[in-house]
Amino acid sequence: MSYVSALDVASLTAIDMHVHVEVDGRGHNALPQELIDAASRYFKTDGPRPGLDDIARMYRERKMAAVVFTVDARRALGHLPNSSEEIALGAARNNDVLIPFGSVDPTTGAEALERARLLARDYGVRGFKFHPTVQNFNPSDQQFYPLWELLESFGLPAVFHTGQAGIGSGLPGGFGFKLGLSNPMLLDAVAADFPEFQVIMAHPSVPWQDEAIAVATHKANVWIDLSGWSPKYFPEKLVQQANSVLQNKVLFGSDFPLITPDRWMNDFASLAIKDEVRPKILKDNAARLLGLDKQSSP
């Protein structure tokens, strides 16, 4: 079963571009328990990690769509990821609200290319998710260029974690994770060398917010999702740019389950965003990026 969208975009209130499926149908968690506990402390949450069908029900109740994914960091973590194939099949069951993104471990070389091709061609994923810090790779290293070339050829966007990472935070040595791999300037080379590849920089990119804004302003194929932070803590410069120069390139994302869409939306309502910009951030920009603005209602 290959994913085919049945979204009624006009009826949606928002499209959440950043939703983690942390637990699969067999109860396997995408991360080792030590990292789960540390992330819960960092985000000050101990909420449930619902499965994919429960996520679909939650977003359906809110008249939202959600981009769902896992992160494949099997080499760096020594821990098998959740199945992107299972996520794609689950999204196909819930294609009125869920949009599947795949994930592969770039450090596995030819295997990553083979799996990315399979997910795109046979499972119909609509994009990919990468976390350079957790996956332990530099996205600007040319050894990974065949993967970006492949995704560009399929016309699929990719979300890249940028900035500070909650995963590993507070642990000795940060669990060995290197924050510098998530500097948004590393994505500048990727966007320059693959101009049709749509690159989404996830999160306010603290401590590199200026760098993220520069890259997104300079490169037509670079976007910013606002996940992982409550809007009331957004850097002032990011809010200014989202209200003006970058108003057509900024995307709503929650980082569920660590931040719920309810909390994010409640805090966003108090943010000094122009009335005409709000619908762009909440839905219209994502619909355009994903090609949903050209999609007929089911």
Residue 287 phi/psi, 5-degree rounding, is: -60, -40
Residue in the structure block whose two tokens are 């990553």:
112
The Cα 84–Cα 73 span in angstroms is 12
In a domain, 162, yes or no: yes
Tokens at 152, concatenated: 């560009």
Residue in the structure block whose two tokens are 């994930």:
103
Q: Which residues of the chain have pLDDT under 50?
A: 297-298
What are 199-253's pLDDT values in tens digits?
999 999 999 999 999 999 999 999 999 999 999 999 999 999 999 999 999 999 9
Domain of residue 138: give its range.
9-294
pLDDT at 1: 73
In a domain, 193, yes or no: yes
pLDDT at 31: 72
pLDDT at 271: 96
pLDDT at 33: 73
The Cα 204–Cα 227 span in angstroms is 7
Residue in the structure block whose two tokens are 């994770």:
177
CB-based burial of residue 61 (10 Å sphere; 0-12 exposed, 13-18 middle, 19+ buried)?
exposed
In a domain, 180, yes or no: yes
With the CA atoms of 290, 211, 45 and 281 taken in that order, what torsion angle do they form, in degrees rounded to the nearest 10?
-40
In a domain, 3, yes or no: no
pLDDT at 49: 73
Residue in the structure block whose two tokens are 């399979």:
118
pLDDT at 169: 84
With the CA atoms of 15, 17, 19 and 24 taken in that order, what torsion angle do they form, in degrees rounded to the nearest 10?
90
In a domain, 2, yes or no: no
In a domain, 55, yes or no: yes
The Cα 123–Cα 103 span in angstroms is 12
In a domain, 1, yes or no: no
- Give the CATH number for residue 160: 3.20.20.140
In a domain, 230, yes or no: yes
Among 43, 154, 146, residue whose Cα is nearest residue 102: 154
The total domain count for the chain is 1
Tokens at 281, concatenated: 């951030």
